[in-house]
Each structure stands twice: as structure tokens, then as C-alpha cells.
Chain A
Amino acid sequence: MSDDASADGTAPQAHTVRLELVDEPGELLRALEPIADNGGNLLSVFHERGSLTPRGHIPVEVDLECPPDRFDAIVTGLRDEGVNVIQAGAERYGEEVTVLLVGPLVETDLSETLSQIEDGADAAVEDLSLSAPDGATEEASARLRLAAEMGRTSDVLAVVNEVAAEKDLHVVEPLAELEGSA
């Protein structure tokens, strides 16, 4: 995972491509070649053998990483090879992180706080819940779900803490390493 992903738009981003393959030998290999040929880096391939699409083909989900300007070339490359691309989306953000913010949220311009977090951390606010039972001038709580690029949640949390400190807000961070593990 690249650590130098910056805001200049050249850092590799994660994408998910859904393909439909005919059940014939060599089809998968043929489908993956245009990805590498056009500057993409394969992250994972989920080959759903056994389940068929309505057209009788095998669905394959491919996660790949490439610079933003290479993605269109990859999709075109696949289609040129006769691979049926049923969905191609720039999945810019591969991870989510949820935090609580507590303090004078409304008074300190919540909307600006969110913009600062989005800009500073290169993250997107996916969901916001605010609870301010005592009115706009009193202490409030907010739950934020932020989408971050793969492997960058700790950077996002650092920015959230920075922005919060400026506005005298408390941050309750998730214990991230525990999520989803037994």
C-alpha cells in the first residue's frame, strides 16, 4: 500500500470491477491480462464458480489498484478483449471508520468541522448523526462515519483529532484493531 497518497490525484486508488466470464478454460487469465497491461495492480479476484448470472455466465469480482487516470484505459482494455464488464466503479474509499465527537459542535460550526476533516484527511463523511438536546449553544454529541482510503484510517483519525483539538471537541476513537475479530 502506498503511503505517499496525496491530494494531487496521482496516488493509486482501489477499484472494484465486476465481470462476466464464459465458462471456458483460460477465460479468467484472458480477463486479467488487460488489467496489468494497462498499469493496474491486482488486489484480489473473487471467482464465483457455481453461481451463474442470468445470462448463464460466471460472475467474477476483481479488486484492483491503479492511478486514477489509468482506470478508464483498463476498462476499455477489458472491453476490447471481449470481456463483459458489467460494473466498473471507482471505489475510492475502501475503509470506514466511526468516531464520536463531543463538545460545542454547533457553536463551532459543524459544517466547517466536517469540511476540514474531509479536506485534511482526504476522507468522505458518509453518515452524520447529531444529538443536541439542550439547544445549539450547549454541548452536543455527533457520530461520524468516515470513508477512508485503504490503509489510511489512522491518518484520518489523526486529522479528526487535530481538527477537534482546535475547536475544543472531544473525540472518542474506535478500537479499530478489534473490529470484526473474535
Chain B
Amino acid sequence: MKLAVLGAGAVGRSVAELAGEYGHEVVALADSSSSVVNDSGIDVSDALAHKDDEGRVGPEDPETALDADYDALVEATPTTLGDAEPGFSHVRTALERDRHAVLANKGPVAERYADLRELERASDGAVRFEATVGGAIPVLSTIDDYGPETITAARGVLNGTANFILSRMAAEGLDYEHVLAEAQDLGVAEADPAFDVNGTDAALKCVILANVLGDREYTLDDAEVEGIADLPGTALDLAAEDGRTVRLIGEATPAGVRVGPRLVPENGTLAVSGTRNIVQLETEHAGRLNISGRGAGGPETATAVLADVNRLRD
């Protein structure tokens, strides 16, 4: 398939780099200020080298990428809340041109799910967004395969940064501030970690799960969200004395969407350590299903994007 990749951050870069390996061709790549377009395929390593040297991937305006001759548009620009722009408009352009859209950007799926589905209905193109929940973990395709109506609830650890901080706090008996600084040094946490540690990122993923599972539309405003920044190390010590630990757990259940620190058994399924993510699906006929793996990262998330692209090809 011919791909237009919007966004040249960790995920967009990896999608562009790995596309060839999956038998696809990149005809356009855009960052926030520029793009490079070639209907017979761009030179990806050349464009990324250009980005590293000059701060832009190519000579064109970013909008030019939207007009390229692609089969599927990959939306990998940063997640924005509210109207989810400009990601939403990018997807709209693709669908109005009867092209497919594959999202790594959570904004449009979490904040404008009904609008997104409406655009899809009017289009010959399809929308896929496996990469928006749990990175490399095949959560949405599993729900799709089983049938959303047979899944009664989803819950799990959906933010690697928060999980890294909580597992380090528990293991080392250190305080939040200390572990956060360490996580930033390691590149696990961003300079501004608010999105991860205040629960927003996990909540967006749970909202997407709720949208896929439920029969009403959810947005971030419908979610009950609490972060981990107020948790002292002593709380984790007390939990450990009792064979428990604390994890930032997100839930999408018929009762709604809820994210917050919760007590879980220390050696239980949900107490994954480090940046690992886990999703637990409650199925109607098959009990509980646990899927775990890497929930973030360029190549990991790109793997989910390209798996979506492959599904479109079939």
C-alpha cells in the first residue's frame, strides 16, 4: 500500500522506516512545518537525515502531503484534546478522498469518536486505530475479533511512565519526585510528564476502549481521573507489608471510565513492572483474557500501525 505519514516524531519516523519491511511504500512524509512527497516513493532515510540536520523533512508545505496519491494516511501527529485538531482534519481529508486512515493519534478517537465514525460511514475508506491503545499490544483487534458485544469490561495498566514510577517507588522505597527525576534521565518520562502522571494518557486509552465496547460516546470529560503525583513512598511500603502494591489502573466498564491509583495483589496479574502495559478483557463466554507487552515506543507503536495497514490490505 502507498502510505502518507503525518508526524515525524518517534512513531511517524518508525512507521516510515519500517513500512518497506512490511511491503508498503511511503509516498509522503510530513512534520509540523514541512513535507516531502513523491508519488513513486520517497527516500525515507534521506528525509529523516534532512529532518535531523535542518529540522524539516523536506521542501514542501505540510499540507502538500494530504494531497499525495496514497492508499492510507497514517496520522501520527501529537495527541490534542478538545476538537482534536489538526489530527481530526487530516483524517477527514483522507476519508473524504475515499482513502483509509490509520491513527496513532488518540485525540480524534477519544474526543470525537462519533464524528469519526460518521466520516467513515460516508467514505469508501476505513478507519483503524490499534496503535492508540496499549502500543504494540493487540487490544482493539482482539476486541474486534471476539466481538465488542461479548466483552463486558476492560481494565489494565495503560501508561508505562506512571507504571515505571510506581514500580520503582515500591522496589526502592523512594519518593515520587526522586523516581520521576530518574525516569526523566532515562528518557522514560518526558520533560513535562503531566499527561502521563496525572492519568490523562491512560484515561484517553480507556475512553477509546469504552467507545469501542459501548453503545454511547465517551470523551475525556466523562472519565473520572486521578493521578499518582500525590502518592508518597510510605503508602507503597504499607501496601507491600500486606502483600499488595499500587498501580495506576484504568477501567472501561458499563459503569463508565475510571483511572486512578489502586491497590492490587503484589504478585497479581495487573502488577506488571517497569514500562510494561497490560490489558485485561472480561469476556462473556471465555473468562478473563490478559494481554501484555510494550505500550509505548517508536518501533513498538509503529508495529501496531503497520498491522492495521496490513488488515486494510486484506
Contacts and interface: CB of A to CB of B under 8 A. Distances in A.
Interface of A: 98-100, 102, 129, 131-133, 139-143, 145, 170, 172-175, 178-179, 181-182
A181 B238 contact: no
Interface of B: 155, 226, 230-232, 234-235, 237-239, 241-242, 244, 246, 249, 260-265, 268-270, 288
Given A175-B155, A175-B270, A141 B264 contact: no
4 shortest A-B CB distances, which residue pairs?
A131-B234, A141-B235, A143-B238, A141-B234
B contact face: mostly helix, strand, loop, or mixed: mixed
Nearest to A100: B235
Contacts of A179: 265
Contact of B270 (A131, A170, A178): A178
Which of B226, B232, B264 has the most chain A CB atoms inside 10 A of its CB? B232
Given A131-B234, A178-B270, A143 B242 contact: yes
Contacts of A181: 288
Contacts of B249: 175
Contacts of A173: 260, 262-263
Nearest to B226: A170
Nearest to A145: B242
A contact face: mostly helix, strand, loop, or mixed: strand
A133 B234 contact: yes
Contacts of B270: 175, 178
B265 A172 contact: no
A141 B175 CA distance: 13
Contact of B242 (A98, A133, A182): A98
A141 B232 contact: yes
A141 B268 CA distance: 23
Nearest to A180: B265
Nearest to B238: A143
A10 B305 CA distance: 60
B70 to A, nearest CB: 43
A136 to B, nearest CB: 14
25 contacts: A100-B235, A100-B238, A100-B246, A100-B263, A131-B235, A139-B232, A141-B232, A141-B237, A143-B238, A143-B242, A170-B230, A172-B231, A172-B239, A172-B246, A172-B263, A173-B260, A174-B244, A174-B263, A175-B155, A175-B263, A178-B264, A178-B269, A178-B270, A181-B288, A182-B269
